[in-house]
Structures are given as structure tokens and as C-alpha cells.
């Protein structure tokens, strides 16, 4: 090893400060793609900036009196929280300034937002996101999160729908930011899963895991048991089996919090069909697909009923889906009962 490397290695060993930031990670990933223009990296850094801004607003929400509902509904017919709109606008403003972003789509907006015409979008990207998932948890200081998915804009000739409605297997990157007891950024660009924690003292996300792996099993199931009476029989049989085999139930009511726990502790997260949501409640494009990409990259499995989630061919931007995702052995236990 060269003298310089030995010198640096000794420095790193002596110091407890973690200096490997999300920005360093993004640039290190970019360097693996010779000839890349840095556009993709810019988009990821826009997500990082948005996350820091949203985190700062969430931490002061009650003090700044921005908690609570706006009195309006989003495209899903759900009551919008003030912070839903604030988070959405933060993401649109940060992403809008990145020239590589051709189209953005948000849970909060009926139609995709075309930021650049197709010619300018050449080699551009589509970014889809749920700006503040689980926002009904805000008033009670529960976990909430931002979920995002990045697709390649297929070609200048593509319509907005053709550009957006790609199966999850075509995602170039996906991630979430969990605003919980700390602010955690979890990301995959197709080479495994990395996890970063925001150090508010320096305003940087620091890498704490590179190549995060989900446990192959874990006796935890996570779903809203209040809907149990209307679950299809297979899910009922699975719950009977799990409860007779010593499983614990954990449910935060916010997908990002439940998926993050599942990634770290193992287990299975489910949103089965219900009478109220016969096709499931969660959105395919900007909730289920990014989470499925992350879970598979961490060694887990993700299904919509008996179909692999990343193979589902989307038909509409805001379509809903059922979800079974988590540890490979735990997903198999569910599928076995369907």
C-alpha cells in the first residue's frame, strides 16, 4: 500500500468521525459509469436537498403551526395535510431545477408535470414520488416518509404515459427517506442497498450501511388487522398459521416506517385486498415499485398477489396494488397460503 494510503488509513482508524456522505456515495457510484454526464447524480442530490428541507420543516411543524389538514383533497380523494403540500412543492422546486428531469409525477398531482419537451428530454429521466407518505401520522409524531422512483425517459417520441408507465423492473434507482427518531435515507441504484443517517449538526447524510441485506426470515407480520374480516381466505389462513406459530404483529400505519423495520429486522409487510380497496390501497408507481426494488436488492421478495411486483405492467399513473414484501422465507409463507 502506498505511503499516502497508509497515512490516510491510519487517520481514518484514529478518527471516529464518519466522513462518507451521501454526496460522496453518489459521486463514487457515478465514477463506475464512464462517460456519464452527472445528470443522474444531480437528481439524487436534489432528493438529498429536498429531504433535508422537509426534515427541517417536519421537526418544527407544531411550532410553526403547519400541522393538520388543509381542508382540501388530493387526487386520491384523501384529505391533504398542510405538510403534504409543503413537501410536494419542495420536491417539485428542487427537481425542477435539474436539467436532466424530463417529467415528474407525484401522488399529490393528478397529471404528470412535463418539465421539458421531448427533444430536451433526450436521455432524460422521469421521477415519481409520494412526497409525504403516512402524513396522517404527523399530528401524533409518528413516522412519515418520502418515497421516490427514477425511470429513464425512453425516447423523445414517447408520450408522457409511455414514459411513465414502465414496469418496476425498469427502475434505475429507488429510495425513501424516513422521518422518524432520526432521518434515514435508504437508496438503491441497482447495486445493492445503502443507508444514510442525517447528521443535523453538519447537514449531511452519512453512510451507515453499504449493501444492506434483509434477514431471510423474521417472525413479524405487518398489516392492518382491522381489515381482517374482508381479507380473501388465503390471507386469513396465513394469519391463523402465523398466530399459531408465535409471530408478532407490528404496524406503524405508514408504509415507509413499516418497510424500514421489515428491511432491518426481517418479517413481512402486507396490504391485502379489502372490501374498501379490492385492488389494494397502495400505489404501484411511487409506493409499491420503489419499495419492491429496494427489498429485492436487499435479498427479499415483493409480490402483488401471486405476481412479482416488479413485473406488473402499469396501466394508469395512480393505480393501486396489493403488496406482500419482505424476507424471502416470510413472503413464501404468505404465498403458500394464498
* Closer Cβ to ligand P6P, 166 or 274, answer by number: 274
Q: Does 87 bind ligand P6P (CB under 6 A)?
A: no
The stretch among 98-106, 187-195, 201-209, 252-260 that binds ligand P6P (CB under 6 A) is 252-260
Q: Kindly write out the interface string for residues 275-314 of this chain, putting x where it contacts ligand P6P by CB under 6 A and - elsewhere.
A: ------x---------------------------------
Q: Which residues of 154-193 are buried (b: 16+ CB within 10 A; e: fewer)?
A: eeeebebeebbbbbbeebbbbbbbbbbeebbbbbbbeeeb
| From candidates 112, 124, 131, 134, binder to ligand P6P by CB under 6 A | 134
The piece of 11-19, 32-40, 132-140, 311-319 that touches ligand P6P (CB under 6 A) is 132-140
- Residue 52 in contact with ligand P6P, rule: CB under 6 A: no
Residue with cell 412479482: 308
Closer by beta carbon to ligand P6P, 133 or else 296:
133
Question: 153 or 261, CB closer to ligand P6P?
Answer: 261
Q: Which stretch binds ligand P6P (CB under 6 A): 33-41, 42-50, 130-138, 201-209?
A: 130-138
How long is the chain? 338
Please say which residue, 70 or 172, places its beta carbon nearer to ligand P6P: 70
> Which of the 8 DSSP states describes residue 40?
H
Pairing type for strands 323-326 and 268-271 reads antiparallel
Distance CA 86, CA 58 (A): 10
Stretch that binds ligand P6P, among 131-139, 150-158, 202-210, 232-240 (CB under 6 A): 131-139
Residue 18, C-alpha cell as written in the block: 464518519
Q: Restricting to residues 217-246, which ones interact with ligand P6P according to CB under 6 A?
A: 224
Angle (deg, nearest 10), helices 39-59 and 82-96:
150
Contact between residue 183 and residue 151 where contact means Cβ atoms under 8 Å apart: no
Nearer to ligand P6P by C-beta: 135 or 183?
A: 135
Give the shortest CB-89-to-ligand P6P separation in angstroms.
20
Q: Which is nearer to ligand P6P, 163 or 291 (CB)?
A: 291
User: Pairing mode, if any, of strands 248-249 and 268-271?
Assistant: unpaired
**E strands, the chain, where?**
69-73, 79-81, 101-106, 113-114, 125-133, 144-152, 173-179, 183-188, 193-199, 204-210, 220-222, 248-249, 268-271, 282-283, 301-304, 307-308, 320-321, 323-326
Q: Which residue stretch of 34-42, 84-92, 128-136, 193-201 sits at the interface with ligand P6P (rule: CB under 6 A)?
A: 128-136
Distance CA 219, CA 324 (A): 15
Which among 13-21, 56-64, 133-141, 153-161 is the span making contact with ligand P6P, rule CB under 6 A? 133-141
Which residue, 134 or 168, has its beta carbon nearer to ligand P6P? 134
Give 98-140 as a DSSP string. Answer: -TTEEEEEETT-SS-EE-S-TTTTTT-EEEEEEEEETGGGGGG
Site for ligand P6P in 253-272 (CB under 6 A): 253-255, 258
Q: Contact residues for ligand P6P (CB under 6 A)?
A: 133-134, 136, 224, 253-255, 258, 281
Amino acid at each position: 500500500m502506498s505511503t499516502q494510503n497508509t497515512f490516510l488509513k491510519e487517520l481514518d482508524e484514529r478518527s471516529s468521525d464518519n466522513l462518507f456522505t451521501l454526496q460522496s456515495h453518489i459521486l463514487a457510484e457515478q465514477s463506475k459509469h464512464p462517460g456519464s454526464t452527472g445528470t443522474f447524480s444531480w437528481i439524487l442530490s436534489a432528493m438529498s436537498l429536498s429531504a433535508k428541507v422537509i426534515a427541517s420543516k417536519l421537526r418544527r411543524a407544531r411550532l410553526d403551526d403547519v400541522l393538520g389538514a388543509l381542508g382540501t383533497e388530493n387526487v386520491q380523494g384523501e384529505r391533504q395535510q398542510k405538510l403534504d403540500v409543503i413537501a410536494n412543492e419542495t420536491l417539485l422546486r428542487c427537481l425542477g431545477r435539474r436539467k436532466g428531469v424530463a417529467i415528474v409525477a407525484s401522488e399529490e398531482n393528478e397529471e404528470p408535470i412535463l418539465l421539458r419537451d421531448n427533444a430536451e428530454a433526450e436521455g432524460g429521466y422521469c421521477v415519481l414520488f409520494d412526497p409525504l407518505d403516512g402524513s396522517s401520522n404527523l399530528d401524533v409524531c409518528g413516522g412519515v416518509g418520502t418515497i421516490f422512483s427514477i425511470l429513464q425517459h425512453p425516447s423523445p417520441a414517447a408520450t408522457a404515459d409511455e414514459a411513465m408507465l414502465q414496469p418496476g423492473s425498469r427502475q434505475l434507482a429507488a429510495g425513501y427517506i424516513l422521518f422518524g427518531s432520526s432521518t434515514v435515507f435508504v437508496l438503491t441504484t441497482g447495486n445493492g442497498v445503502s443507508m444514510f443517517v442525517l447528521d443535523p449538526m453538519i447537514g449531511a447524510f452519512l453512510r451507515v450501511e453499504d449493501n444492506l441485506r434483509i434477514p431471510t426470515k423474521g417472525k413479524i407480520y405487518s398489516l392492518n388487522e382491522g381489515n381482517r374480516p374482508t381479507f380473501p381466505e388465503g390471507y386469513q389462513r396465513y394469519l391463523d398459521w402465523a398466530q399459531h406459530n408465535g409471530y408478532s404483529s407490528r404496524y406503524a400505519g405508514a408504509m415507509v416506517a413499516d418497510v424500514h423495520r421489515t428491511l432491518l429486522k426481517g418479517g413481512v409487510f402486507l396490504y391485502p385486498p379489502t372490501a374498501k380497496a379490492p385492488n389494494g390501497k397502495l400505489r404501484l408507481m411511487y409506493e409499491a415499485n420503489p419499495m419492491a426494488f429496494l427489498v429485492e436488492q436487499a435479498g427479499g421478495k415483493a409480490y402483488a398477489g401471486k405476481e412479482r411486483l416488479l413485473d406488473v405492467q402499469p396501466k394508469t399513473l395512480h393505480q393501486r396494488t396489493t403488496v406482500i414484501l419482505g424476507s424471502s422465507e416470510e413472503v413464501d409463507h404468505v404465498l403458500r397460503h394464498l
